[in-house]
A and B are shown apart, each in its own frame.
Chain A
Amino acid sequence: MGAYIAKRLLAAIPVIFGLSIIVFVIMAMIPGDPALAILGSFATPENVEKLNRDLGLDKPMVQQYFIWLGNMFHGDFGRSYTLNRPVIDEVLERFSATLILAGPALLLCSIFGLLAGIVSAVRQYGWADKVITFIVLIGISTPSFWLGLLLILVFAVKIKLFPPSGMWAIYGGGDLPDLLAHLTLPALTLAVVATGVIARLTRTSMLEVLRQDYIRTARAKGISERRVIYKHAFKAALVSVVPVIGIQAGFVLGGAVYIETVFQWPGIGSMLVKAISTRDILLVQGGVLVVATAYVLFNLIVDVVQTILDPRLR
């Protein structure tokens, strides 16, 4: 297993390296430049040229890339020109905020998704199945930013139960209850769509397993229904559900962009959007690098978990 993980990690290096080149090329190809973004209406050719020189952006793209790469190997990710601070500080701060949001969201959608899927499958075509399928469909089809605004309106503006935005209280707070109060609405919003996807997949997968011969045998042997479902059927169904949870993890990270904007959550998604629109290339590079690494790690974890669950894959 150790050798397998090491091999996978090594294989990730060219992926991330290639990605950094692609991002750099795309950033170089889109029109407009950082000096233009900073100067706005004052962007005379003369001012743009001077600012680009001050920012070190007057060198050829290829040279800029290798300067960036060289610095990165020394652990220097550069300095963001729109935020006037080291890229690494900003990226790590933002990424941990995203993890704080995405982690619980992933946990929520896994728990609710699996539960709903099992209940749905066991009570196939029963009223519970119909209700769950209905709710799940609504969940999947609801745009998350809209749901977020709706939740803010109901639970923050009308019933003042949760704060509308941000990660910490402006006055007081700073402790765990404060964080959880701020986390509840965005994490719920983020979880809703993924819950639906996981529920539907668990249902299909469970139905398939429940029709297998060995389940019939288990039931014939008189094993309790609960044990049949959770011990025999669910464990087998999980093998095909786990990769989906892995994909949903990626989805949750990606979907966080909207949620972070709506809830003013200081995560990496909203940072990237702003960095791209202001052509802050170093910040984009740093952010993409961290997100890509996270994706690779997620996929690896999913594969490892799957191998553990399914002996045939070993």
Chain B
Amino acid sequence: MKTLLTAALAAASLLFASPSFSQTPPNVLIVGQIAEPKSLDPAADTAVNDFRILVNLYDGLVRYKDGTLEVEPSLATSWTISDDGKVYTFKLREGVTFHDGTPFNAEAVKFNFDRMLKEDHPYHDTGPFPLAFFFSTVSEVKVIDDMTVEFDLSAPYAPFLSNLAYPTGLLISPEAVKEYGKDVGRHPSGTGAFKFVEWASNEKVVVEKNPDYWDGAPPLEAVVYRPITDANTRVAEMLAGGLDVMVEVPPDNLAQFRDDASFKVYEQAGPHLWFLILNTKDGPFANKEIRQAANYAINKQALVENVLQGTADVAAGPTPPAFAWAHDDSLEPYPYDPEKAKAMLKEAGYDGSEVTFYVTDGGSGMLNPTAMGTAIQADLEAVGMKVKIETYEWNTFLGKVNPGLEGKADMAEMAWMTNDPDTLPFLALRSEAFPDKGGFNSGYYSNPKVDELLEKARQSTDQAERAKLYKEMQQIVHDDAPWVFVANWKQNAVTSAAVENFKLQPSFFLMLQKVSKP
């Protein structure tokens, strides 16, 4: 049988092996994605994986400045904000057309937001639009003239501009929505550097150069996005030359690519935080000293170096350093000090009662949650805290954690990736964000000062003032320790050596406008 197999293999290879699978033309970039996109309609998408395509097909009114999380003009050339922070007026870029040839103007902007936000809009049924709440403070979008559009907000809302830079704020051609209805996600038409060509289900999404792009035509002729869900297979494709770019490289394989001159490895810290929610309402963690002791007891350096193999940095507080303008650089991570932790536990009168720890087996941004959970359990047990792990599949896990930990568990793993320093603390650290009020404060942390700072920061339109408020908030939260701050994930990617001008962004979006592959 063995000889037969060998013979069959040899025959098959002679007959069928075509060189087409390893050769791609110059300036055509093949990108290995982690999954099939759900849709290419920016209003309908929620996954970073889909955003990687969207940001090259579409533009928003504003975008993140290269290498930062600060907004700069895109399809809006300038804007003014009223003194009360409730009226935003945008001047639009002249002479821009959607890929389908229809003009970009104030009507198009209004159409996009009305479609998402107004339930009586004739095209609201082309949704659902899961992230529409990003713009829930928008009460009215007004067309002032053909090239001026005004957003009226129901309350001052500082993250509004960064939400506009988020993919949910990317603008689609109204004519395309009218023509394709619910299927517009498979017939996208934007204003971006690349035009949509083809979507072969479960195989590839192809986009091509938009020679008339208002910000300069991209060097690449085309980009092909391939969904390859299995990480090992993605690595094999990269090694075999079937991909030019691969995202989310497993930590195990990074070294292999680093040592090989035919590849380039990229890393970029992003607005991500991996943390443990501590139940501040009942159980041992209701005591601040015990929460701080947990922060001292866990060896975060070992976690990021050994479990995450260097794909993350140790986190110091609730705000990731990627939000450079809002991050308090003076904040130091809790050092690893098991002796101090033991002393603090004793001081606080910890009675040795067992703590229940919710762990998950996967999920977006959760990195390697099972191994992390076990390592954390070991660190806590080393200082005399008995930890019982309960592991749940991601969806089940969210269903258990989001309604709050009271009466069920003492701590839970969690990770968030956000686009504004406001988002995570506002949704997960305020008294008004307790689970029964629709927030994510599953550990019931409550500090009136933090509430006040976050409310104020949200209402201010002055970045310097917001930064000051966020920094003060970080100091307090760091000391109150409602969470164990563990890690900030670094996004990674590998390209073949031929790929030039490739860059990862702190936003985790994969901008390909300047990339070339001569």
Q: Is A39 an interface residue (CB 8 A)?
A: yes
**In-complex Cβ contact of B38 among A83, A165, A170 (8 A):** A83
CB contacts (< 8 Å) of A112 on chain B: these are 1, 4-5
Q: Is A244 an interface residue (CB 8 A)?
A: no
A163 touches B130 (CB 8 A): no
Q: Report A259-292 residues with CB < 8 Å from chain B CB.
A: 261-264, 266, 270-271, 274, 277, 279
**In-complex Cβ contact of A266 among B24, B203, B398 (8 A):** B203
A171 touches B38 (CB 8 A): no
CB contacts (< 8 Å) of B226 on chain A: these are 166, 170
Closest to B185 in A: A84
B197-216 interface bits toward A, Cβ cutoff 8 Å, 1 = contact, 0 = none: 00011111000000000000
B22 touches A149 (CB 8 A): no
A180 to chain B minimum Cβ distance, whole angstroms, is 4
**In-complex Cβ contact of B395 among A36, A132, A135 (8 A):** A36
B44 touches A84 (CB 8 A): yes
**In-complex Cβ contact of A165 among B13, B35, B242, B398 (8 A):** B242
Q: Is B374 an interface residue (CB 8 A)?
A: no
Number of A-B residue pairs having CB atoms within 8 Å of each other in the complex: 198
Q: Do A157 and B20 form a contact, CB below 8 Å, given A32-B399, A94-B202?
A: no
The segment out of A41-49, A207-215, A299-307 that lies at the interface is: A41-49
A44 touches B438 (CB 8 A): yes
Q: Is B239 an interface residue (CB 8 A)?
A: yes
Q: Is B127 an interface residue (CB 8 A)?
A: yes
**In-complex Cβ contact of A184 among B12, B185, B228 (8 A):** B12
Q: Is A225 an interface residue (CB 8 A)?
A: no
CB contacts (< 8 Å) of B21 on chain A: these are 162-163, 169-170, 173, 178, 181-182
B224 touches A170 (CB 8 A): yes
Q: Do A55 and B201 form a contact, CB below 8 Å, given A32-B398, A44-B438, A44-B439?
A: no
Bound-complex Cα distance A266 to B228 (A) = 10
Closest to B226 in A: A170
B16 touches A181 (CB 8 A): yes
CB contacts (< 8 Å) of B137 on chain A: these are none
A152 touches B233 (CB 8 A): yes
Bound-complex Cα distance A128 to B24 (A) = 46
A72 to chain B minimum Cβ distance, whole angstroms, is 20
**In-complex Cβ contact of B240 among A89, A156, A177 (8 A):** A156
Bound-complex Cα distance A53 to B233 (A) = 38
A168 touches B203 (CB 8 A): yes
Bound-complex Cα distance A89 to B186 (A) = 13
B236 touches A156 (CB 8 A): yes
A57 to chain B minimum Cβ distance, whole angstroms, is 11
Bound-complex Cα distance A188 to B5 (A) = 9
Q: Do A45 and B438 form a contact, CB below 8 Å, given A164-B236, A261-B229?
A: yes
Q: Do A177 and B440 form a contact, CB below 8 Å, given A90-B201, A157-B240, A171-B25?
A: no
Bound-complex Cα distance A17 to B440 (A) = 41
Q: Do A115 and B1 form a contact, CB below 8 Å, given A42-B130, A165-B242, A181-B17?
A: yes
CB contacts (< 8 Å) of B24 on chain A: these are 170-171
Q: Do A39 and B46 form a contact, CB below 8 Å, given A90-B201, A163-B242, A165-B242?
A: yes
CB contacts (< 8 Å) of B236 on chain A: these are 149, 152-153, 156-157, 164-165
A22-45 interface bits toward B, Cβ cutoff 8 Å, 1 = contact, 0 = none: 000000001111011111111111
Q: Do A32 and B240 form a contact, CB below 8 Å, given A43-B402, A161-B17?
A: no
Bound-complex Cα distance A277 to B186 (A) = 23
Q: Is B501 an interface residue (CB 8 A)?
A: no
A36 touches B30 (CB 8 A): no
B252 to chain A minimum Cβ distance, whole angstroms, is 13
Closest to B364 in A: A40
Q: Is A116 an interface residue (CB 8 A)?
A: yes
Q: Do A54 and B439 form a contact, CB below 8 Å, given A38-B46, A165-B242, A171-B25?
A: no
Bound-complex Cα distance A292 to B422 (A) = 50
B240 touches A169 (CB 8 A): no
A236-278 interface bits toward B, Cβ cutoff 8 Å, 1 = contact, 0 = none: 0000000000000000000000000111101000110010010
Q: Do A262 and B233 form a contact, CB below 8 Å, given A177-B18, A180-B12?
A: yes
Bound-complex Cα distance A83 to B186 (A) = 10
- Pairs of residues from A and B, 6 with the lowest C-beta to C-beta distance, nearest first: A32-B395, A266-B202, A54-B128, A163-B21, A172-B20, A31-B396
- Chain A residues close to B by CB (< 8 Å): 30-33, 35-47, 51, 54-55, 79, 81-85, 89-90, 93-94, 97, 112, 115-116, 131-132, 135-136, 149, 152-153, 155-157, 160-173, 177-178, 180-182, 184, 188, 195, 199, 261-264, 266, 270-271, 274, 277, 279
> What are 5 A-B pairs with beta-carbon distances under 8 A?
A31-B396, A85-B201, A149-B236, A162-B21, A178-B20
User: 11 other contacts beyond A32-B393, A40-B364, A85-B201, with CB at 8 A cut-off?
Assistant: A39-B46, A83-B36, A93-B202, A162-B17, A163-B21, A168-B200, A177-B18, A178-B18, A263-B233, A264-B228, A266-B202
